[in-house]
């Protein structure tokens, strides 16, 4: 009897102790790609105009959800499959949002996009400024349009993997519409339900049946700048999700498909290299190969983003212990913080802000001390190799940017420079976040 119980438990344990490792790839971000092509400043100018217009005309944009991420900075991609048999997609694994979407096979063919993008209802130059597809705007195109428009929104799906629901035996219709606005462009479409599997086909996948996801029928032209990326997979909480859709990992937790309701992120520092192994997402457990033991857990102050409080930040002669709410965000390649603090830090390390580039630059040979962030009484250090990155043409970025959430929510975005310095353990079940050193075998 006793023996049988033990065997039973062992079997049960075996069936439930599922930990899945997901290799990811580092790619060149759209920002870096556009800088090399010389189109970045135009893109930034248009984006800034659009942002200002929206601030002054909030009523025109009723359905815009707030999202911290700009598509153009995302650098780490992973493979997933959707449907049965699995159709492959390369997606951004983003702890700063909560929806999964990929381009649908009908992407760009509907013609309904002019109606769903509220910017396209505007007249004249305002339409050209705000609408993601200038072909939706009536009348002659201005010089403005020619300067800022490189391509139509309708071709943004070209070259991407497209989801064809007719080819999947497990697909279920939903049909509800969705729209997500990122800083740099929007995506919209309808919802469907199918099996979503984390990891590439042919590897050990985390298979999550009955997952609701977005089938994009329209994606803004900025998405086309990243040929390596099909869509985004949000890993934050349901409360942040557009249309309250349950995010894939939360769905996996709800269906008890993983050992523990946590995932661990290890990001590799690869410099400005395109298409190289970039780290590992471990679902259901810790990453014992690349990450050390957990130094400490910090309770989340809000389980929307992975939001928590930090006590202080300092570098060189600068230090402030004002205390802030921050988020840990794999989808942002820099660290964002309040303007006054960022500019004081920039000054302390000798970095200068370039308005036209929308970025800080620093002498590549400069040797700023580590940036120290205090969380729960423990100090975490971000070394130069994770905060100064190659910007090409002999220039280096200082990986910080001024960020204003508008009075609500977090004050800082701890993006990839932080996560490259410490593995982050996203504990969904206990609503806390843990940090570990990156071990030698992971470096
Ligand atoms: C992802 O899939 C592509 C093929 O679509 C493949 O070339 C690449 O090696 C895969 N990457 C990983 C990390 O599995
Ligand atoms: C989607 O798959 C169906 C079934 O094989 C096929 O008939 C259809 O042409 C595909 N759609 C597109 C746009 O490729």
Is the same domain home to 388 and 332? yes
Ligand 1: residue of 22, 81, 90 to mutate (most ligand atoms within 8 A of CB) is: 90
Q: Is 226 within 8 Å of 30 (Cβ atoms)? A: yes
Q: Which of 136-140, 343-347, 403-407 has the highest mean pLDDT?
A: 343-347
Is the same domain home to 118 and 215? yes
Distance CA 320, CA 235 (A): 31
With a 6 Å cutoff on the Cβ, whether 88 touches ligand 1 is: yes
Q: Is 292 within 8 Å of 316 (Cβ atoms)? A: no
Residue 265 counted as domain residue: no
Is the same domain home to 214 and 326? no
The 10s digit of each residue's pLDDT in 159-190 is: 899 999 999 999 999 999 988 876 666 788 99
Mean pLDDT of 296-301: 98
- Annotated catalytic, 329? yes
Is the same domain home to 187 and 301? no
φ, ψ of residue 218 in degrees (nearest 5): -140, 130
DSSP annotation of 260: S
Residue 339 counted as domain residue: yes
Which atom, in ligand 1's list, is nearest to the CA of 79? 1
Is the same domain home to 203 and 302? no
Distance CA 258, CA 254 (A): 9
Is the same domain home to 144 and 236? yes
Catalytic residue among 70, 94, 113, 230: 94
Residue ranges of alpha helices (H) inside 239-311 are: 248-254
What local confidence, expressed as pLDDT, does residue 163 receive?
Answer: 98
Ligand nearest to the CA of 22: 1
Ligand nearest to the CA of 87: 1
Is the same domain home to 179 and 109? yes
Residue 9 counted as domain residue: no
Nearest CA to ligand 1 atom 1: 79
Is the same domain home to 47 and 189? yes
Q: pLDDT-based confidence at 144, cuts 50/70/90? A: low
Instruction: Check residues 14 and 304 and name the one with the higher pLDDT.
Output: 304
What local confidence, expressed as pLDDT, does residue 153 receive?
Answer: 47
- Annotated catalytic, 113? no
Distance CA 307, CA 327 (A): 4
Q: What is the token pair recorded at 5? A: 């119980």
Mean pLDDT of the chain: 83
What local confidence, expressed as pLDDT, does residue 100 receive?
Answer: 96
Instruction: Return the sign of the alpha-carbon dihedral for residues 217, 114, 50, 151.
Output: positive
The 10s digit of each residue's pLDDT in 309-354 is: 999 999 988 999 999 999 999 988 899 999 999 999 999 999 999 9
Is the same domain home to 374 and 249? no
Is the same domain home to 206 and 303? no
Which atom, in ligand 1's list, is nearest to the CA of 277? 13
Is the same domain home to 82 and 197? yes
Residue 165 counted as domain residue: yes
Ligand 2: residue of 103, 167, 171 to mutate (most ligand atoms within 8 A of CB) is: 167
CATH code: domain of residue 354: 2.40.70.10
Show the domain range for 183: 20-254
Please tell me the distance between residue 200's alpha carbon and the centre of ligand 1 in angstroms.
7
Q: What is the token pair recorded at 70? A: 């700009």
Residue 15 counted as domain residue: no
Residue 70 counted as domain residue: yes
- The torsion of the CA quartet 163, 165, 168, 170, rounded to 10 degrees, works out to 120
Instruction: Return the sign of the alpha-carbon dihedral for residues 324, 327, 328, 334.
Output: negative
Beta strand spans in 36-118 (E): 76-82, 87-94, 100-103
Q: Of 206, 234, 254, which one is at a domain's C-terminal end?
A: 254
With a 6 Å cutoff on the Cβ, whether 25 touches ligand 1 is: yes
Residue 290 counted as domain residue: yes
Please tell me the distance between residue 90's alpha carbon and the centre of ligand 1 in angstroms.
8
Total structural domains within the chain: 2
User: Is residue 267 helix, strand or coil?
Assistant: strand
Ligand nearest to the CA of 157: 2
The 10s digit of each residue's pLDDT in 103-117 is: 999 887 644 456 666
Residue 12 counted as domain residue: no
What local confidence, expressed as pLDDT, does residue 61 receive?
Answer: 43
With a 6 Å cutoff on the Cβ, whether 79 touches ligand 1 is: yes
Nearest CA to ligand 2 atom 7: 166
Mean pLDDT of 260-284: 86
Is the same domain home to 330 and 402? yes
Q: Is 277 left (phi over 0), alpha (psi -120 to 50) or beta?
A: beta
Q: Is 216 within 8 Å of 202 (Cβ atoms)? A: no
Catalytic residue among 221, 329, 399, 427: 329
Instruction: Check residues 409 and 212 and name the one with the higher pLDDT.
Output: 212
What local confidence, expressed as pLDDT, does residue 219 receive?
Answer: 81
Distance CA 37, CA 51 (A): 23
Q: Is 419 within 8 Å of 267 (Cβ atoms)? A: yes
Distance CA 153, CA 167 (A): 26
């Amino acid at each position: 009897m006793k023996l049988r119980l033990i065997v039973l438990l062992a079997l049960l344990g075996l069936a439930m102790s599922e930990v899945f490792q997901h290799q990811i790839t580092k790619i060149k971000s759209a920002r870096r790609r556009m800088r090399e092509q010389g189109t970045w400043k135009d893109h930034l100018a248009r984006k800034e105009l659009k942002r200002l217009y929206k601030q002054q005309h909030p009523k025109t944009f009723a359905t815009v959800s707030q999202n911290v991420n700009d598509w153009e900075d995302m650098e780490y991609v992973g493979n997933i499959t959707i449907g049965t048999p699995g159709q492959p997609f390369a997606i951004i694994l983003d702890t700063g949002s909560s929806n999964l979407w990929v381009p649908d096979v009908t992407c760009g063919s509907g013609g309904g996009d002019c109606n769903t993008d509220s910017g396209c209802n505007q007249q004249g130059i305002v339409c050209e400024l705000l609408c993601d597809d200038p072909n939706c705007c009536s009348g002659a195109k201005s010089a403005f349009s020619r300067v800022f428009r490189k391509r139509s929104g309708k071709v943004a799906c070209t070259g991407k993997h497209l989801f064809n629901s007719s080819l999947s035996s497990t697909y279920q219709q939903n049909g509800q519409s969705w729209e997500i606005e990122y800083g740099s462009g929007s995506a919209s479409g309808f919802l469907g339900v199918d099996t979503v599997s984390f990891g590439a086909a042919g590897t050990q996948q985390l298979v999550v049946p009955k997952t609701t996801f977005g089938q994009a029928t329209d994606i803004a032209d900025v998405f086309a700048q990243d040929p390596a990326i099909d869509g985004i997979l949000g890993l934050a909480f349901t409360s942040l999700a557009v249309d309250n859709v349950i995010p894939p990992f939360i769905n996996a937790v709800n269906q008890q498909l993983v050992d523990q309701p946590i995932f661990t992120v290890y990001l590799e520092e690869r410099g400005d290299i395109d298409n190289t192994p970039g780290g590992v997402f471990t679902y259901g457990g810790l990453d014992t190969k690349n990450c050390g033991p957990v130094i400490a857990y910090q309770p989340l102050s809000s389980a929307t983003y992975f939001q928590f409080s930090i006590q202080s930040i300092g570098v060189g002669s600068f230090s402030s212990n004002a205390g802030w709410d921050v988020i840990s965000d794999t989808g942002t390649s820099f660290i964002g913080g309040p303007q006054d603090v960022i500019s004081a830090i920039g000054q302390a390390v000798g970095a200068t802000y370039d308005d036209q580039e929308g970025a800080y630059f620093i002498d590549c040979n400069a040797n700023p001390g580590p940036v120290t962030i205090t969380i729960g009484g423990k100090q975490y250090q971000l070394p130069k190799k994770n905060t100064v990155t190659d910007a090409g043409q002999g220039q280096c970025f200082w990986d910080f940017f001024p960020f204003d959430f508008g009075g609500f929510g977090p004050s800082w975005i701890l993006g990839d420079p932080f996560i490259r310095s410490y593995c982050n353990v996203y504990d969904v079940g206990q609503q806390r976040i843990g940090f570990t050193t990156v071990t030698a075998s992971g470096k």
